[in-house]
Amino acid sequence: MKGWQKTTKVLTYLITLLITLNLVACGDKALTQEVSSSTKREKTHLSQKITEVSPPPVIQELREILEVYQPQVAIASPQPDQVLQDDTVKVSFQVKDLPIFVDPKLGMGPHLEVILDNQPYTMVYDISQPLVLSDLTPGTHTLRVFAARPWHESFKNQGAYAQTTFHVFTKTDENNPSSTQPLLTYSRPTGTYGAEPILLDFYLTNAPLHLVAKENPQDEIADWRIRCTINGESFVIDRWEPIYLKGFNPGKNWIKLEFIDEKGNLVKNVFNSTVRAIAYEAKGQDTMSQITNGQLKTADVRGIVEQNYTAKIPEPEATPAEDSLPSPEEEKNAEERGENAEERGESMSTPRPSA
């Protein structure tokens, strides 16, 4: 028994050592980790009005179809630290292990979400053509991009995110995040919504998981958190996964996300505090609203996750066509022919023998 306990202690020590060495070896790389979100989550009151709930059932089913992908995203141009002599830039992307497309009828599909500095993102459904950004202000700019599911949940596996910093005419101090400090990228919510729950999603880089951070005594951010404030009410998030929320006010709402340390202080880095305003009006009839409120079923929208999917339409039962039925006159003539045959001793069903 003592030998078994000793072996267990040694194994525990080795696992902890490997985790720590892995973290140190990563240096200033952007650490990302796909975290499985619970699909059957109990209602949790995060504030007086805001409640966390499970994702809509259709989204839960569609998410499983995309679990086979581990997208790898890269920015081909502009190059890191490149100085451009123009206020227009053509951004080119490279994507592996994820089909990028949009369903023409539903207007949704797997895509890239591209963020210039800290502006609301632009969705890209076609990477064969560059994304053109024009009228850029002189100075330093940062591009961030990540792969996203059709309903805007970001992929969080290693390689699903890329960023680059470039300069228009000259270098300046703004829009230049530190490569060694944790970085928060605000994703959702944004824009207009016609149904609840509403997705809260963000991206983290240089932010190791809590377990790894606590095991590394050299980590300055031993226990990071994301503070979310919605319409003045705040709550803290300690996990990195998509969260679905109810309790928004009709009309305008505002959301603020902040990357904080274990003491509740903002971790200083560009973009680590972001505020967005959204609009919410119930009974929306856009595709996303109909998915959320259950008007559209999985079979109706499967084409947003499978590019060549064709819905199977059940064939109706065969019924005789109206024009194939005999008319009253035809029925009368048939009856007369039958009576005449009987008078002659003939059978309508038995052919006459040949002579």
Q: Which of 126-130, 266-270, 338-342 has the lowest mean pLDDT?
A: 338-342
Sheet holding 89-96: strands in order across? 72-77, 89-96, 131-133
pLDDT given for residue 30 in this prediction: 38
Q: Is residue 3 part of a domain?
A: no
pLDDT given for residue 341 in this prediction: 52
Residue 47: pLDDT band (50, 70, 90) is confident
Residue 46 and residue 167 in one domain = no
Cβ atoms < 10 Å from Cβ of 243: 23
pLDDT given for residue 18 in this prediction: 45
Mean local confidence (pLDDT), 263-271 = 94
Q: Which of 28-37, 45-54, 141-150, 232-241 has the lowest mean pLDDT?
A: 28-37
Residue 134 and residue 202 in one domain = no
Q: What are the tens digits of pLDDT across the range 68-126?
A: 999 999 999 999 999 999 999 999 999 999 999 999 999 999 999 999 999 999 999 99
Q: Is residue 185 part of a domain?
A: yes
User: How far is 304 from 101, CA to CA, in rounded Å?
Assistant: 8
Does residue 325 register a pLDDT over 80? no
Amino acid identity of 252?
K
| DSSP conformation letters of 209-272 | -HHHHHH-TT-S-SS-EEEEEETTEEEEE-S-S-EEEE-PPSEEEEEEEEEE-TTSPBP-STTS
Residue 62 and residue 78 in one domain = no
Q: What are the tens digits of pLDDT across the range 131-176?
A: 999 999 999 999 999 999 999 999 999 999 999 999 999 999 999 9
Domain end position, chosen among 132, 159, 176? 176
Residue 124 and residue 201 in one domain = no
Residue 115 and residue 215 in one domain = no
pLDDT given for residue 68 in this prediction: 97
Q: Is the full-model pTM beyond 0.85?
A: no
Residue 264 and residue 124 in one domain = no
Residue 83 and residue 103 in one domain = yes
Residue 116 and residue 127 in one domain = yes
Between residues 283 and 21, which one has the greater pLDDT?
283
Q: Is residue 267 part of a domain?
A: yes
pLDDT given for residue 168 in this prediction: 98
Percent of all residues in the chain with a pLDDT value above 90, rounded to a whole number? 66
User: How far is 95 from 125, CA to CA, in rounded Å?
Assistant: 11
Residue 193 and residue 252 in one domain = yes
Q: Which of 129-133, 164-168, 283-287, 344-348 has the lowest mean pLDDT?
A: 344-348
Q: Is residue 4 part of a domain?
A: no
Domain of 90?
69-176
Residue 208 and residue 289 in one domain = yes
pLDDT given for residue 321 in this prediction: 53
Number of domains in the chain: 2
Q: Is residue 355 part of a domain?
A: no
Cβ atoms < 10 Å from Cβ of 113: 21
CATH number of the domain within which 204 lies: 2.60.40.10
* Maximum average pLDDT range among 6-10, 36-40, 206-210, 346-350: 206-210
Q: Is residue 237 part of a domain?
A: yes
pLDDT given for residue 313 in this prediction: 57
Q: Is residue 299 part of a domain?
A: yes
Look up residue 164 and give its two tokens. 């680059």
Q: Which residues contact 236 (CB under 8 A, 6 or more apart)?
A: 225, 226, 227, 228, 260
Domain end position, chosen among 126, 151, 176? 176
Q: What is the mean pLDDT of the chain?
A: 83
Domain end position, chosen among 176, 192, 208? 176
pLDDT given for residue 35 in this prediction: 47
Q: Which residues contact 342 (CB under 8 A, 6 or more apart)?
A: none
Q: Is residue 342 part of a domain?
A: no
Residue 273 and residue 189 in one domain = yes
pLDDT given for residue 43 in this prediction: 74
Residue 105 and residue 234 in one domain = no
